[in-house]
Amino acid sequence: MNLKKLWDSYYKGIIIVMGFLFVLFSAMSLELALVVCLGIIAAIILYHNIKYSVAIMLMVTPYVNTKILQTQIIPGIPVKLYVILFFALLGLMLIRYRIHLKTVFDMKYIGILSLYILVFIIAVIKSVDYIEYISIAWSDNLSVLRLMSNFLITPLVNIFPVLMILLFYNYEDKHLIIDGFIMALLVLSLAIIFVYIFMVPSKMNFSMIRGQIGVVLGLHGNDLANFYIMGFPLILAMYINSKNRFVQLTFYLSLFAIAILFSRTAYVCVILTFLSYGVLRGKIDIKYFLTIIAVGIMLLFLPEQVYARFLTLVAGTDIQTLSAGRSGDIWLPLWWEWIRHPLSIKLFGIGRYSIVESFAYRNGLILNVEHPHNMYFEVLMDSGIIGLITYAFVFAYINLNIFFSFIKNRLPFDRDILLAVLISFVMYLLAGMSGRTFFPSTITIHEWTLLGLGILIIRYQRFTDNYAHLKIEVSKNEKTN
């Protein structure tokens, strides 16, 4: 049943129900009433196009810290608007489609994802022991309920895209995921450039530019750069493989947005992405060569401050300079404290955001930060050696499967997508030396979605290989008979 038939058949009932809900909820909150009614309209529209959910989630994620998406629309329940949106999209997907877990292959990856989530849940539960320190760090009087809502439920919604891909998406849906990535980075690039052109008074003041972008979009410049570190390899692969104008526009706008975010890690990752894609792809065609020339020309028109920021990478050779002060002002004090912990803590960790419980943090021996700015050390502190080994296994298993699929795959487009996924993850591992996180968060949603895309292609490749093998066996049997 299409939307027109649905409306023609049930429009009276829909209007009556929405009117009743508006009156009911407006008694509690006018904002809640509007959200409920608009949500019903959106649900009706999305019902027959619900596989756009992942694209919607990718597009929404960079703005989850803005005032509107942080709104708590149900009084007394500490759940933000964007969390409700993600749950609603997952709920519609469950209503619209049947779960297609049918093979050992499918169950295996669900098991891997469950293992990843389990480590995170244990870390959050353990953080209840020092809830008062977390409350002080976040300037909030947290109850156990609000701690679980803010630090467990809210981050876990960022796993929904990969969960939906594993449960409901097929190989034919891969373009919905790719288009979602492209549209998300296009909109984000336009937003960053808009702020830079119209809302930043000094176009050459690096601190002012990053500060204003962060204020408007609700994320620090380095956090915004994460979306490009993860997404740019896919944008490059699509640019090489497609003549679509939106892809081309996204490619160049993304490069300019990366430039004015002034993330040195992003600069390095983009350069390495170009190099690794050109080498590992196995061929350098004319379009790739022309792309390098076009990007080189584009560099001539960037603000002077971009070059100054990039040159700080080679301005000093000591680790303190290269790490922007992280080594001496965060890592070393925390490291010396960690090695003094008993074996049980080393093995299983202290709990999520354990940095705020540390002696170094509470006594001002490190910078006033809520994470160690090193995702490997963060897992080591929060979940211990066991947690770090578990996460290493989870990501190594998935990416090794993607790597072997890349080697065996005979479809050029799929090979390029798999290569982009691999490069993206390697760039994320590199960027993790100075920040990011392995735990579920708005930072990891794009990376997990890319891994889900890779798994889709692997699933299809295994199916076609098995089908081809079966045809060969049948053919042999026919000849024998």
Residues 413 and 241: beta-carbon distance below 8 Å: yes
Give pLDDT, residue 478: 58
Q: Where are the beta strands (DSSP E) in 161-215?
A: none
pLDDT digit string, tens, across residues 269-302 = 988 998 888 888 877 677 777 777 777 777 666 6
Q: Is the pLDDT assigned to residue 394 strictly greater than 80? A: yes
HEC-encoded secondary structure of 355-382: HHHCHHHHCCCCCCCCCCCCHHHHHHHH
Residues 325 and 367: beta-carbon distance below 8 Å: yes
pLDDT digit string, tens, across residues 315-349 = 555 666 666 667 778 889 999 999 999 999 999 99
Mean pLDDT of 403-425: 93
Q: Is the pLDDT assigned to residue 4 strictly greater than 60? A: no
What does residue 435 show for φ and ψ, rounded to 5 degrees? 165, -150
Q: Give the HSE-up count for residue 345: Cα atoms under 13 Å, Cβ half-sphere.
A: 12
Give the number of other Cβ atoms within 10 Å of residue 221's Cβ: 21
Give the number of other Cβ atoms within 10 Å of residue 68's Cβ: 10
Least confident piece of the model among 180-194, 299-313, 451-465: 299-313
In the numeric block, the tokens 């009084």 are attached to 75
- The whole-angstrom separation of Cα 360 and Cα 152 is 25
- The whole-angstrom separation of Cα 123 and Cα 19 is 44
Give pLDDT, residue 441: 92
- The whole-angstrom separation of Cα 8 and Cα 248 is 41
Q: Is the pLDDT assigned to residue 49 strictly greater than 70? A: yes
Least confident piece of the model among 196-205, 233-242, 285-294: 285-294
- The whole-angstrom separation of Cα 197 and Cα 199 is 6
Give pLDDT, residue 1: 44
Give the number of other Cβ atoms within 10 Å of residue 253's Cβ: 19
- The whole-angstrom separation of Cα 181 and Cα 226 is 13
Residues 438 and 155: beta-carbon distance below 8 Å: no
| Run of H or E residues at 62 | none
- The whole-angstrom separation of Cα 229 and Cα 218 is 18
Mean pLDDT of 207-211: 80
| Run of H or E residues at 125 | helix 104-126
pTM for this structure? 0.86
- The whole-angstrom separation of Cα 239 and Cα 253 is 12
Residues 443 and 223: beta-carbon distance below 8 Å: yes
pLDDT digit string, tens, across residues 347-362 = 999 999 999 999 999 9
Residues 348 and 388: beta-carbon distance below 8 Å: no
First to last CA, the chain: 49
Q: Is the pLDDT assigned to residue 6 strictly greater than 50? A: yes
Phi-psi category of 267—alpha, beta or left, where left has phi over 0 and alpha has psi -120 to 50? alpha
- What does the DSSP 8-state code read for residue 138? T
pLDDT digit string, tens, across residues 434-454 = 888 999 998 899 999 999 999
Q: Is 239 helix (H, G, I), strand (E, B) or coil?
A: helix
CA 169 to chain centre: 18
- The whole-angstrom separation of Cα 40 and Cα 38 is 5
- The whole-angstrom separation of Cα 433 and Cα 427 is 10
Residue 462: what residue type? Answer: R
Q: Where are the beta strands (DSSP E) in 308-350?
A: none
Q: Is the pLDDT assigned to residue 79 strictly greater than 70? A: yes
- The whole-angstrom separation of Cα 398 and Cα 391 is 11
Give pLDDT, residue 19: 57
- The whole-angstrom separation of Cα 467 and Cα 462 is 8
Contact partners, residue 53, CB within 8 Å, separation at least 6: 46, 89, 90, 92, 93, 161, 164
Give pLDDT, residue 244: 86
- The whole-angstrom separation of Cα 474 and Cα 476 is 5
Residues 196 and 68: beta-carbon distance below 8 Å: no
- What does the DSSP 8-state code read for residue 1? -
